[in-house]
Structure 1
């Protein structure tokens, strides 16, 4: 048996051991997310003091940067940095272990030493994230340099299941500053994400400087200020002051890319075409079907009433896109460029002389094939620039462009179809990965649509049973920002749900344990409190499930996402607390009751938000759920 077969067999045995022995490996004190593939607690502790040193190969500039990064994060907890020398008690060292591959690592904590071994600097970086999560969280406002910080002894062997582990941030609907984007990337890295998908253009704004087409940001980056529910806003008018928006200069982009590079995160840009292009059309109406005039969308309804798709018939369209993607390709080191391709309304193409002429020349049967022609032509142009092309699953319509990668968001169907055609796939089904959805009861959450609880993210199965897993690059979570107007809300919608997605992309399915995961999430809350992150605590909120029984009487089931919570309720309009009615089973609504109020407690402490629903609202929910 050759060495490759032996290593493969050992890897399978390790996976089998992990899957069959996860309960034995479970350590209630560990808080690492994503959970390592293999870890074993050992007796004793390693003490970090002001005399502890970090030992690295000091001639390796990348290793020096890693030690400095570790020091920066460590000092946030313990209040001081450690000396960096050629030898020390905390050792970062490159090795040659084929089983660790590119991103794997080994952490060994003994009473005398802490060692991180990996084949690459990226592996060392991943090991640093786990090591940092082994250090007790400081809850004191006073930091003493004479304090000993204890790390429990442990052995960890770990590597990711998937190479693509991403989060997407939409900066078109609402603009977030360069500093806020960096903050987002920094926290991504701590949970071992390695791809930042940057949704830079859409109907509501163009956010990246294109030097050859300055109107894209001079015009396309600004719109009228509005508040209120998305899709219900008053459209922008010719007399509005266009003061809301912003864009990133190319120097800003380079700065963010370098910041991400130091955290081993690849920045993948998305320029969304041919649909979702109202900001583009407002800037350059000559690439439209109708000629305009156009106004950037402010959150008003428009889809079939106002044109938002580039003209697929005009050569001018492709010329401008070539200029755009030439600058994008030279600006971003990433091997990938995302071209969108989703939700393209084709009604204006059906009436456009240029589109109809193009269909005739190219012998295209319908506008779906015209979209395929558009995607293939743009993809070919980008591929000639040395980049790989990604598109949302709608690029399957009319025929898939060669060598394109499908990002499947409308469930996993598109991903299955693409994989069966021999294309690589990134799974991001909305029912597990759309972070713009409700994560708790709509009565107490910011207004949005549909539901994606933390447990829904944790149920994400990246590889469907029906396809070859080798075609699945990985997956990601997506934060669309129609209802996310500022960065604090970005944090609220992302965390902790992104922790669940991180773990599903890192570990094999058999390693999942919901109860253990939520225990670790709660430990992470203490850490996020220390950072001042505005995470969501919706997993503590009661879940209210009204239904009609066989006698057509309204009844209510109450649940919680996590164990260990008591649910208290009232029907008499009083505020429920630990002295109110304790939920023990299905509730029947008392005669003439007008309101249900529910809250959760752990011991004497209120954990979730109080939820108040009228009886009429409960009945309405039953009707809506039955539609």
Structure 2
């Protein structure tokens, strides 16, 4: 008995000290946060009271009860006003008179000794208030292995609401097929950090992932490719004659409905993308007659089928583009969009429109004849013709069209929205024309880009650090904010074969995106953000969810001073020391503490460097040969 009392007391002290430290670790940071006196102990003597008859709020409350139960805390859910209220309660209230400040997705949250109160105008606000409450709990509540059953929450008052209505992540399900459970788990994490748009990239050259019942070959053929391993590109061979396509999969329409409902329960709407007229190799494998050459195609297994020349210029080696001069193509698009529109309740359908190669159109006599007949001066106008036809089809299904910024080329369809990915330029142009815009530029929002040093990460053609992602500002100077719907991060999956690695590439950079589209612009502070991010590392570790900790790795900058090879080391975190060696010795903490730029002399040498905090390594050891350093000279 004495041991138990001491254990509980020590546990109480441990939680109290950790929670005091954790109170300012909410991501995205709230609009207003105020510490108050008091402390709420969440334990089995707590109840959740739903003070509304709205069934969706009751469902949200039950979801939170289930979350607490998995963490070892069993709380009672009170649904009736006549239920006896225990001494400690979490109250969920929909306002009778609207609280104008918080809008439809905002909430207020107050914590005192006996009660936690969440007020909102709409159920979405209750949901986000519960996500914030979840973050106020100790990290061990995310653990299935070591549930503690009690948690201290320090007194506070929070008023919070989003800056933008579109807070999204795009998930590429074509390059690799992930499946229902993986997509649901990805949506779960999005919801915790107050994202509300899941942009589902369902078709591309590497696979068609959505069942279209009127066009069965799209999934019978287009959803499967021959299996290949390793990096996408020229080292991946084309299919061999007679080789069976066994790698891939697709979502049935019933599975799509299941995922849509799952997302809606978490205040997330799904925007489907059917990428046309380019990126259509999987569709053409099923229906080659929709191309100009009408030759048999295969679903690309990640093999090289384009030459890239820089500045966005490229040449397709295999036709992957629908024929805009063929009326059968529009019949095909109509069938696809009819079924997509019937499945997805979202306002928008994304039609892609990016990286469309015009070379096959330029060489095809029937396309040229069509252009002359319709007084289309060039293939840019031809693509615009296609986009406008597609928009009419989408509009006829009761939906609005959105596409990548290439849909601006040749003239933009009147009601189309633009998703700006090639920097901010396309978004600025579209906004100044009076079109709605979602900003998702490569510069800040491409989550497949390398996030740490190339010696320990998968190197691809571009980098995106957490600091750079955090500097994302969706409203460019000189643009009317009313045309900016919001922003999103994009996760392309050429080098991401499973959901755990998808999480690694998404987080923590998605934290940065979330804060840019939810929190007030003036509240952003990178040092404070990094401090909060580190606390969320603990939460991800507790839930056994992969997350990148590349911020703990040194940043290596290489320059030349005359003939001298010079290295500068930097860190994303401020309270750490960098140690290094350049004489092939290790461990590095017995080498040199970094203070200034240094020279790496000639010879068969390697730079070894690592971050330390309080005498302990916090990041990975980088080892980069002198030859590799030379290749990095800026």
Aligned to 1:454: 466
CA deviation after TM superposition for structure 1 residue 620, in Å: 1.3
Aligned to 2:323: 311
Aligned to 1:155: 157
Which residues in structure 2 correspond to 1:33-72 (within 5 Å)? 33-57=27-51, 59-72=53-66
Kindly indicate whether the alpha-carbon contact (under 8 Å) linking 2:276 and 2:321 is maintained by their aligned counterparts in 1.
yes
Q: Aligned to 1:86, which of 80, 87, 95?
A: 80
Which residues in structure 2 correspond to 1:282-431 (within 5 Å)? 282-303=285-306, 304-431=316-443
Distance (whole Å) between structure 2 residues aligned to residue 84 and residue 529 of structure 1 = 32
Kindly indicate whether the alpha-carbon contact (under 8 Å) linking 1:78 and 1:149 is maintained by their aligned counterparts in 2.
no
Which residues in structure 2 correspond to 1:234-253 (within 5 Å)? 234-253=237-256
SS in 2 for 1:344: coil
Distance (whole Å) between structure 2 residues aligned to residue 464 and residue 350 of structure 1 = 36
Kindly indicate whether the alpha-carbon contact (under 8 Å) linking 2:558 and 2:567 is maintained by their aligned counterparts in 1.
yes
CA deviation after TM superposition for structure 1 residue 157, in Å: 0.5
Q: Say whether 1:558 aligns with 2:569.
A: yes
Q: Say whether 1:107 aligns with 2:109.
A: yes
SS in 2 for 1:257: helix
Extract structure 1 runs of 4+ deviating beyond 4 A. 139-142
Aligned to 1:500: 512
CA deviation after TM superposition for structure 1 residue 485, in Å: 1.3
Kindly indicate whether the alpha-carbon contact (under 8 Å) linking 1:571 and 1:593 is maintained by their aligned counterparts in 2.
no
Distance (whole Å) between structure 2 residues aligned to residue 129 and residue 495 of structure 1 = 17
SS in 2 for 1:155: strand
Which residues in structure 2 correspond to 1:198-237 (within 5 Å)? 198-232=200-234, 233-237=236-240
Kindly indicate whether the alpha-carbon contact (under 8 Å) linking 1:237 and 1:295 is maintained by their aligned counterparts in 2.
no
| RMSD value, Cα | 1.5
SS in 1 for 2:183: helix
Distance (whole Å) between structure 2 residues aligned to residue 289 and residue 129 of structure 1 = 51
Distance (whole Å) between structure 2 residues aligned to residue 144 and residue 106 of structure 1 = 28
User: Could you say if the C-alpha distance between residues 293 and 417 of structure 1 is closer, same or farther in structure 2, counting changes exceeding 3 Å?
Assistant: same
Aligned to 2:4: none
User: Could you say if the C-alpha distance between residues 82 and 516 of structure 1 is closer, same or farther in structure 2, counting changes exceeding 3 Å?
Assistant: farther
Distance (whole Å) between structure 2 residues aligned to residue 583 and residue 576 of structure 1 = 15
CA deviation after TM superposition for structure 1 residue 579, in Å: 2.4
1:583-608 per-position Cα deviation (integer Å, ceiling 9, x unaligned):
11111123535111111111232111
Kindly indicate whether the alpha-carbon contact (under 8 Å) linking 1:576 and 1:599 is maintained by their aligned counterparts in 2.
no
Distance (whole Å) between structure 2 residues aligned to residue 73 and residue 414 of structure 1 = 42
Q: Say whether 1:278 aligns with 2:272.
A: no
Kindly indicate whether the alpha-carbon contact (under 8 Å) linking 1:74 and 1:132 is maintained by their aligned counterparts in 2.
no
Number of corresponding residues = 595
SS in 1 for 2:139: coil
Distance (whole Å) between structure 2 residues aligned to residue 299 and residue 169 of structure 1 = 18
Aligned to 1:20: none
Q: Say whether 1:484 aligns with 2:496.
A: yes
SS in 1 for 2:140: coil
Q: What's the TM-score, normalizing by structure 1?
A: 0.93
1:25-47 per-position Cα deviation (integer Å, ceiling 9, x unaligned):
x9874211000011101112011
Kindly indicate whether the alpha-carbon contact (under 8 Å) linking 1:57 and 1:63 is maintained by their aligned counterparts in 2.
no
Q: Say whether 1:599 aligns with 2:610.
A: yes
Distance (whole Å) between structure 1 residues aligned to residue 90 and residue 452 of structure 2 = 42
Aligned to 1:11: none
Distance (whole Å) between structure 2 residues aligned to residue 38 and residue 587 of structure 1 = 45
User: Could you say if the C-alpha distance between residues 79 and 604 of structure 1 is closer, same or farther in structure 2, counting changes exceeding 3 Å?
Assistant: farther
Kindly indicate whether the alpha-carbon contact (under 8 Å) linking 1:78 and 1:138 is maintained by their aligned counterparts in 2.
no
Which residues in structure 2 correspond to 1:114-133 (within 5 Å)? 114-133=116-135
CA deviation after TM superposition for structure 1 residue 275, in Å: 0.2
Aligned to 1:573: 584
Kindly indicate whether the alpha-carbon contact (under 8 Å) linking 1:94 and 1:121 is maintained by their aligned counterparts in 2.
yes
Distance (whole Å) between structure 1 residues aligned to residue 253 and residue 476 of structure 2 = 39
CA deviation after TM superposition for structure 1 residue 374, in Å: 0.2
Q: What's the TM-score, normalizing by structure 2?
A: 0.92
User: Could you say if the C-alpha distance between residues 144 and 395 of structure 1 is closer, same or farther in structure 2, counting changes exceeding 3 Å?
Assistant: closer
1:171-199 per-position Cα deviation (integer Å, ceiling 9, x unaligned):
00011011000000010000000000000
Distance (whole Å) between structure 2 residues aligned to residue 603 and residue 83 of structure 1 = 45
Kindly indicate whether the alpha-carbon contact (under 8 Å) linking 2:52 and 2:94 is maintained by their aligned counterparts in 1.
no
**More deviation in 111-120 or 599-608?**
599-608
Distance (whole Å) between structure 2 residues aligned to residue 132 and residue 222 of structure 1 = 40
1:422-454 per-position Cα deviation (integer Å, ceiling 9, x unaligned):
100000010100000000011110232210011
Kindly indicate whether the alpha-carbon contact (under 8 Å) linking 1:495 and 1:536 is maintained by their aligned counterparts in 2.
yes
CA deviation after TM superposition for structure 1 residue 142, in Å: 4.2
Kindly indicate whether the alpha-carbon contact (under 8 Å) linking 1:106 and 1:116 is maintained by their aligned counterparts in 2.
yes
Distance (whole Å) between structure 1 residues aligned to residue 133 and residue 374 of structure 2 = 58
**More deviation in 481-490 or 174-183?**
481-490
Aligned to 2:8: none
CA deviation after TM superposition for structure 1 residue 78, in Å: 4.4
Structure 1, unaligned stretches of length 5 or more?
1-25
1:527-579 per-position Cα deviation (integer Å, ceiling 9, x unaligned):
11111111111111111111111x32111101111111111111122223422
User: Could you say if the C-alpha distance between residues 144 and 548 of structure 1 is closer, same or farther in structure 2, counting changes exceeding 3 Å?
Assistant: closer
